[in-house]
Structure formats: structure tokens, C-alpha cells
Structure 1
Amino acid sequence: MSARQPAAAPSIHRRAVITWLAVYPTITAVLGLLGPTTAHLPLVLRTLILTVIVVPIAAYVFIPLLMKANAALVRR
């Protein structure tokens, strides 16, 4: 009975690309949806609102999905 070896962690460069692939479209979508609504607010407040929405979505949804996709791709 052979135990499956855990996949090696992706390189820092690959993790950076995965993070970018999760963050960029999420920021673009949220800005598209909230941009007109928040345009009158100070930059610091707009950035706070944006990051409160984008960071959890990217960290808990998209990055794990992309990491799984990366692991499947590496296994091929």
C-alpha cells in the first residue's frame, strides 16, 4: 500500500501569479460595481471598503481554488 505524497508547495513566483490571478479580477469587478457609488468618498475610505470586500473573497474563495487547480496541473 503506497501513501500518496503531498504535493510540494508552489514556488514563490507561482504563488505570486496565483495571488494576482485571484486579486486582479476581483478588484476589477468590485470597482466596477462600487466605483460610481463610492467615487465621492476620500481615497482612504474607498480603499478600505474595497479591501474589506476583496481580501476575504480572494483569500477564502479564489486562492484556494487556484491552488487546487495548480496542484492538479502539476500532477499531470
Structure 2
Amino acid sequence: MTNPTTSAKAPPPTKHQLAIMIWLAVFPTLVVINLVLGEWLGTLTPVLRTFILATIAVPIVIYGLMPQLHRARVRLMTRRSSAKQ
């Protein structure tokens, strides 16, 4: 759960911040999935391989990693703004 007073201090992420957060979530997720399932995925057609990767990676990123990255960003933003005061 987020603290309403903490959330109010941090504005929504900019396009650039969001792009970095998405990259930080997607790249390692795809690397791990490829390392774990790479041999098996290599036997599949590119479309099926991509479908399986997306089916596994999207929920991990959206429900697991992005909320954590948003919380980390809020902590950084509020820490930064409180240090300026």
C-alpha cells in the first residue's frame, strides 16, 4: 500500500522516466526467461516463441516489477524533494 501523503508529493512519471522503468523491468525479465527456457524456445517458430515470451513476461512486468519500480521512484522523488527543503 502506498502512503497518500507520499504519493501526493511525487508527480506521475514523465514519458522518459516511464520508458526507463519499463526497460528496467522488461530487459532483465526477457533475459531470465530466455536463459531458463532458451533451449526449448529455440525449437519453436518465431511467432510462437514471441507469443510464449510475451505471455510469460507481461504479467511479471505489469503485476510484479512495475509496482515495485513505481514505489522506488516515489521514494527517490520524495527523498530528493525533502533534501532540497
Higher relative contact order (CA 8 A, sep 6+): 2
Q: So what's the TM-score if we normalise by structure 2? A: 0.82
Q: What is the CA distance between 1:46 and its match in structure 2?
A: 0.4
Q: May I ask how many residue pairs the two structures share in their alignment?
A: 74
| Moved beyond 6 Å, runs of 4+ | none
The Cα offsets for residues 16-59 of structure 1, whole Å up to 9 and x where unpaired, read as 00010000000000011111012111000000000000000000
- What root-mean-square deviation, in Å, do the aligned CA atoms of Structure 1 and Structure 2 show? 1.4
CA distance in 2, matches of 1:58, 1:10: 17
Q: Give me the TM-score of the superposition, normalised by structure 1.
A: 0.91
Summarize the alignment of residues 1-76 of structure 1 with structure 2, pairs less than 5 Å apart.
Answer: 4=5, 6=8, 7-76=10-79
From the two aligned structures, give the one with the greater helix fraction.
2
Unpaired runs of 5+ residues, structure 1, are: none
